[in-house]
A and B are shown apart, each in its own frame.
Chain A
Amino acid sequence: MQATMHNTVQATLPAQAAGAPTFAATATTALRGHFVLLRAGELRLLLPQAEVGAAGYLETRPLHDNTGQLRDAAGRPYAALSEQMSLLPECPPNRFIFAALGDGSDPTGWCWDELKVMISVDLQAHSLPAALLTPRTPVGAYVELPGGPAFVCGAAALVRFVRGEGVQP
């Protein structure tokens, strides 16, 4: 160990030579347009409205078939997310509303506790700190909304992440 303890501990001092360091303000981006807030327990996601299909109410609870896929009596596939954004094997009882995600080619009904359409809103998206992210993290920013932050996400990123995550035991 070459450095003295004094030098080692002081080595983490912010560089002062070029003047006092500035304190970082969170990087923000303006978001304008139509969005949909989707909530699954404590998980709150904000998607562009164009990427969320028409909402419907669950009249009967979808049940998993012999492949593990949730389906209603008519055979339509459904999916329900945990608060960690992984697929749940069962649809929780408080999920009562569903919508398809993406360009409409996938009929899967994604089940939520709450679905709120936000028309012509101006929002500030705050970038997530780099320390939280991995190459697989499907969200990169959040907006502050009444009730807490909602993570900004695209439908394709959400579906990719969830499909790669597998079913939570």
Chain B
Amino acid sequence: MQDKQLRPLSAIATGETVKLAKIDAGRGLNSQLASMGLLPNVEITVVRNSHPGPFVISVKGSKMMLGRGIAHKIMVL
């Protein structure tokens, strides 16, 4: 199996599409993100990655803004 590096979502550049591997967060946040579609293997497109400030991503056709903290905790392939 290809050993792809896990990267935090915060490191993904604008326009790139990645797959969610896991989220390093507590149950509350995990649940909230899950209900908005952020589940393992889901495709995430980074719409806007600007420093400083939140991310805009597109998941299942919906756009969301994420804070820096969360973007660090979402690990993607």
Q: Are A and B genuine complex partners? A: no
Binding site for B on A (CB under 8 A): none
A-binding residues in B (CB < 8 A): none
